Structures are given as structure tokens and as C-alpha cells.
Amino acid sequence: MILGCRQEGEVELSTPKQEDVSLHNRHNLKEEKKRRIGITEQTVAHTTHALFDVTAYMQKVERAVSFYRDPIRTRPKDRKLILVLGGSSTGGMSHQKQHFWPYHLQKKMPNYHVQSLALGGATTWHISKILQKLGVKAEYCLLYSGHNDRMQSSPRQSLAQLENGIQPQSSGFTPWVLPSELPTYLDIMANHCEQIFAMEEYVVSDGKTLDDFIRALKVHPKVNYIPIAEELSKKDNRKIMRDDIHFQPYGHQIFAEILYEKLKNFGLGIL
């Protein structure tokens, strides 16, 4: 055997020092990748922030107001009104009502009028604006929300900060609605709803919880919190969910059944 040469079949063992260097290099590569991604996100956030003002987001609100104005105006006045507030997981702004849980809930509660004001991508900021612009008053409101509020997709500042002209607090993306802002939107909803029944959205395989959102719901004096996500987590996701946030048609039916039973505990459904 020639000294200094590794023969075929022999395994070259690394020293602890070499392993430390290798780990250090891999760590540096990961940090560099994170840094580059961070720079890219900051660039996109700055560009998006420069292109849009609050008017762009208000246009989404105006479309919903225009869509729902006539249904609200022509609704039957001899039945108590239940407003459904939410995003695409509630059905969004759609004419295909029979596919979504508000339709199934209406069938179970014929002595009430169930009217959806859902808007795809809506946060509680959007929802409060829609209620204010419609000027509608309801005996009951069902809020199914939370996922859009906490999405890290808003460029540099929350919607409220953008609306109020507050200087951006972030160089990248931030939640559309900050936890400290949610009580204000619940107050606005309470001005239009005698009682609010609120639920956090059910999200499959979600490592992040909506603790701040849930906490705000629980402490608000006009909100009755319903932990419906806990009930849904016991179901077979393959049967009820289309993706991580949206229900299959059967899921909408199951959701309505669970919610109906919960509402009966508060005295609704019995007239």
C-alpha cells in the first residue's frame, strides 16, 4: 500500500473539525439563501406598496356592496335577518348559492332570512367596510373568518395603517389585519348586528393557530364564540375539504349541520 493514497474499498473518515467546517458551510448557504429570498420579498413588497393605495382595496369593497345591495333591499322583512360574513370559504361573491353552507343553513332555518355578504379574500377590514356602506342592520351575524386576516401578504403595512396614512412599519410583507386592529372591526360589526356568532376558519395542516383572533372573539361583549374548527377537525378531511381552506360540497353541508346545532344552544332556530 502506498502511503498517502486511499485504496479502493477504503472509507475516508472525516475529522470532527472537517465536519464542523461542513456544517458551518451548509449553515452559511442556508442563511445566504434566506437573505436573498428576504431581499426579493422586500423588493416585491416595496414595488407593490408603491403601486397601490387604499383606493385599490376599496374597489373590492365597492364591488361587493354593488353585488349585495339589491338582495338586501328586497329581502323579506317579516323574518329576522341573519347575515353571513366571511370570505371564499363561505362561498364568496357567488350566485351558486346551493353549493355553500349558508344555503344549507337557510333550509334548516326557514323562519329566518339568511343572507350572505361573503367576499373572496375578505378580511375583517373588508367586512366592516361592506356593512358600513350597505347600512344594513341585522338581528344576528355569523362571522367565519381569520385566515385572510393573518396572511403575511400585505405589502409593508396593514390595511388600516395604509388607510390612515401611517408610515410603513415593515420592509417586507405583513398581515392584512393586525391583532390589535381586530377589536375595532368587531365594534363596527356590532353596530350592525344585535348579536354576533363568530368562528375562526378551519385550516387543514395549519402549523399556525389563530390564537390572537380567537382571543379577541372571546372577550368582545357582543360576540358569542363558537369553536367550530374544533368540531371540523374530528371529520375526515378527504371527505369534507377541497383544499386546506375550502370545503367540498359535502363539507359545506356538514358545516351547516354543526353550526345549526350550535345555534340552537343559543336559542336560534326555534321560533
Give pLDDT tens digits for 19-63.
Answer: 454 544 544 544 544 444 444 555 444 444 444 578 989 999 999
Rounded mean pLDDT, 5-19: 45
- pTM reported for the whole predicted model: 0.80
- Extract the C-alpha cell encoding 261: 346545532
Give the pLDDT band (50/70/90) at residue 10: very low
Tally of CA atoms within 13 A in the half-sphere of 270 that contains its CB: 7
Residue 23 CA to its chain's centroid (Å): 39
Residue 36 has what pLDDT? 46
Give the pLDDT band (50/70/90) at residue 163: very high
Residue 139 has what pLDDT? 97
User: Residues 192-232: pLDDT tens digits?
Assistant: 999 999 999 999 976 566 788 999 999 999 999 999 999 99
Q: What percent of the chain has pLDDT over 90?
A: 64
